[in-house]
Amino acid sequence: MTTIDVSGAVRARWPAVTSVAMGTFTIVSSEMLPVGLLTSIASDLGVSTGTAGLTMSLTGLVAAVAAPVLALAAREIDRRTILLGLMAVLAVADLAGALAQNHLVMLAARVLTGVSIGGFWAFAAGLGTRLVPERSVGRATSIILSGVSVASVLGVPAATFVSSFAGWRIAFAAAGVLALGLLVLLAVTLPPLRPPAGSADAAAREKRLSWLSGPLNVVLLLTALTVSGHFAAYTYVRPFLEHVSLAGAAFIGAALLLYGAAGVAGNFAAGARAARNPRATLIVLTGLMTLSMAALALTALPPLVALVAWGLGYGGVGVTLQLWIMREGGGELGTALFVGSFNVSIALGSFAGGRIADGLPISAVMWAGAGLTLVSAIVAGIWGRSRTSGS
């Protein structure tokens, strides 16, 4: 039986939990970088807005593939070594993006970003059990995963704010410097993390496979609908605000910062409720997202109000879905598949939004996003009633 030495070591491992959370924040912030910078990137590299959106879709696709591939290929390697290596790859990718002189080089840099994101997130999500005693695993896992949720809503506003006075290349360079700083912090705080010894027993494997046939499939479907709907619209929120709301760079930067602040509030508010009832929480969140995107398309609300409501909704999505997986007992396999589904959905959503943005009025991306999130809310409601009735 494997034991954990909790005498004295626990105090040293809470900084490790915090540094891993900062690491997840950094990788997802890097993934989101192009969203608020898309117009500037497209103009500087001489491509259309939709084509520039490939910097999002390609990254998400590579991350989705990298998560399970690295989990299998690196299963015998110390997790500390893996995380340090992936953070170093991220630093190189962000700095290469800052220096890119054409779209092809930018896409190559974003491939490296995708590898880092998929691997780091997949390995980091389950580290709570390795860094703290059993009684504190829930708290540690929440802290680690909060980095993903907070980055999803703060990364874009921060990058947009920096680019508004220093340019998009400086925003990429700043992300690279942040990754280098996290590399040092992880090296200082993380203990050796040998691969878990052995494998799950037959009963646990049977339970896991049984679970895969039901709840996980539904959570993955809801992830695909919600996340792809969000990114079909959100990837192109800057050109939407410029063309429909006639907003300038300063207003957009400030609006997205408020969106991010609302998202942080949504993350922690949803986390508390999702621990008890993730299905009902997700229905509320996706409903709020649907109404916000529809209001933007209809110009029924001031854009600032709609963006804040959108941030409140999406800010809680990541933690709600992850807590749903943990509640159902999905374990590492469930988390790995969730990471893959999340990132494939980013790729599909941003790609679909790009095709819509290039072929239809820009407001059509908001309708596409609203439609997908509405379907997600409906599916969650129907599935919940089916489980209750036993059908």
pLDDT value for 360? 83
Query: Which of the four pLDDT bands, split at 50, 70 and 90, describes residue 137?
Result: low
DSSP state of 136: G
> Can you list the alpha helix ranges (DSSP code H) found in 190-316?
202-212, 215-234, 237-243, 249-274, 278-298, 303-315
Segment 316-340, tens digit of pLDDT: 888 788 778 877 766 666 777 888 8
> Is the pLDDT at 12 greater than 60, yes or no?
no
Inter-residue contact 312 to 266 (CB < 8 Å): yes
**For 44-87, what is each residue's pLDDT tens digit?**
888 887 777 788 778 878 888 888 788 778 777 888 899 999 99
The model's pLDDT over 198-233, given as tens digits with 9 standing for 90+, comes to: 444 444 444 554 555 577 888 889 999 999 999 899
- Is pLDDT of 32 > 60? yes
Going by the DSSP 8-state scheme, the letter that residue 217 receives in this structure is H
- The predicted pLDDT at position 390 comes to 46
Give whole-number Cα distances, 341 to 38, 172, 203, 224, in Å.
Answer: 24, 26, 26, 6
Instruction: Tell whether the model's pLDDT for residue 7 goes beyond 70.
Output: no
For residue 132, the model assigns a pLDDT of 78
Q: How confident is the model at residue 5 (pLDDT cuts 50, 70, 90)?
A: very low
pLDDT at 40: 83
**Does 152 or 221 have the greater pLDDT score?**
221
* Residue 313, CB-side half-sphere exposure with 13 Å CA sphere: 26
3-class secondary-structure state, position 63 = helix
Confidence of residue 385 (pLDDT cuts 50, 70, 90): low
CA distance 12 to 188: 10
Q: Sorting pLDDT into bands at 50, 70 and 90, what band is 94?
A: very high
pLDDT of 156 strictly over 80? no
How many whole angstroms from its chain centre is CA 332?
A: 17
In 3D, which of 345, 352, 348 has the Cα closest to residue 368? Answer: 352
Average per-residue pLDDT for the chain? 80
Identity of the highest mean pLDDT range in 15-24, 82-91, 128-137, 248-257: 82-91
What is the C-alpha separation between 258 and 106, in angstroms, rounded? 29
Q: What percent of the chain has pLDDT over 70?
A: 85
| Residue 95: predicted pLDDT | 93
Residue 276, phi then psi, degrees to nearest 5: -95, -40
H/E run at residue 343: helix 331-359
Q: What confidence score (pLDDT) does residue 294 get?
A: 93
Instruction: Give the confidence band of 2 by pLDDT, cuts at 50, 70, 90.
Output: very low
Whole-Å CA distances, 386 to 143, 196, 218, 379, 381: 33, 37, 12, 10, 9
Tokens 């896992």 sit at which residue? 141
Rg for the chain (alpha carbons), in Å? 20
